[in-house]
Structure formats: structure tokens, C-alpha cells
Amino acid sequence: MAIQVSAIITSARITLLDPAPGTTWVDADFLVWANECVRNICGLKLNAYRIKGIISPLAEGTHQVLPAGGLILLDVYENVIGGTGNGRRITKVNNRQLLDSVAPNWAAATPQAEVHQWIGDPVDPTGFEVYPPNDGTGQLRALWGAIPAPMGTTAANVPIDDAWELAIKNYMIAQAYAANTERQDLMKATQFMSAYEKLVGARSQGEVAYAVRTGAPRGT
């Protein structure tokens, strides 16, 4: 993830026959479109931008949510002791229904700070449950998909993988042709947007399956 927005803008300008500093479109517009595109990609591909960090503090009880901007919980590693130290590793429960049937009162266990198991929410990918219920002081090291902060300048690095470069370029060109300028070309705008959509795809079945099956057995 080292490509700068400016490099993609330069490439887009070559296709648009509008070399820098540009006579039809300004860099500020391309930066806006780049940020729009990154947000759109992250909304469709929930793991496009990943954060490995600490969820702290946990809420009291079993039900938990990701930090602001989180889209999907991908994995939970261990308890965090003293803010930085590694604590007990945490296992994933793949079948909440089985747990509920075997131990229907598990959510009523005595609350504590240390988490032993986590359970993905089969409906809301931003939520999850922990066992034992937390006392409100627990901390977890985890991996989750999120929406990155906007890029502030064209010198900023694109926060998602370089593999998205062509998709971002096509999105920029589509928006440029769609803009109300003397070179507006809605047919070309549609063509480049279609190319963008093919590269990105609608939300993939694999990601939807992951979101839905975080509480389901593997291989089902």
C-alpha cells in the first residue's frame, strides 16, 4: 500500500488527455473522487481496509460492537493485559446454536475481564459476543475491516491495497466525464463506471458468507 493518489491522477489524466496541471479538471476534484471510491470499495469489500488493534474497553455483558468506523470483525486474538501485554488466547465458537442448546445459561455466567471465547453475530457483522460475560474492563486484540480516514492531499498514500489502483482510476475517469464541464461525456462516464463495477464487483458472496457464518460451523 505505497501508491500515492497523485500517481493514479497522473495515469487518469493521460487517459483523459488532460495533462497536469489540467485544463478541464483540477487535482482537488480527483482527490474527492478518490476518497469516494475508497469508501465505496470498503463498503462493498468489507475487508479491503483492515485494522489490527485493541478493542477497549469492552461493554458489560456478552454483546459487543466494533469501534467507530468498523465494518466487520475478522478475527480475535487474545486478551490484552495492562494495555500492551499479551494475555490468554481466545477461541472462536463456530456454532452459537449448539452452544445455546448445550449451555442455555452461558450468558448468565459471572462477569469477568478475561474473555475465553468469542462468537460472531450472524446478522450484524459489526457485532459479536464474548464468554464469559465481560465486567466492562476487558480488552481484546483483534482484526477488523473498517472505513479509513479520508486522504487529505494528493501526496497521501492510498490506504487500501495497490491491487485497487485500476478500479480507482476508472472511478476517477467516470466521475470526470460525468462532471458538468465542456468535456462532459455521459456515454464514456457510463463505460468507465461499468469497468469500475466489474473490477470491484457487487459485494462478493465470499464476504457475505463470512459475515453470515461467523457464528456457523465451518464447511456448512
Please identify which residue in the block is written with the cell numbers 445459561: 105
Say if residue 187's pLDDT is above 50. Answer: yes
Helix ranges restricted to H, the chain: 5-16, 27-44, 96-102, 165-178, 186-200, 205-213
Question: What digits encode the pLDDT tens for the residues 124-143?
Answer: 999 999 999 999 999 999 99
Question: What digits encode the pLDDT tens for the residues 12-60?
Answer: 999 999 987 778 999 999 999 999 999 999 999 999 999 999 999 999 9
Please identify which residue in the block is written with the cell numbers 460492537: 65
**51: β partners:** 144
Question: What digits encode the pLDDT tens for the residues 141-182?
Answer: 999 999 999 999 999 999 999 999 999 999 999 999 999 999
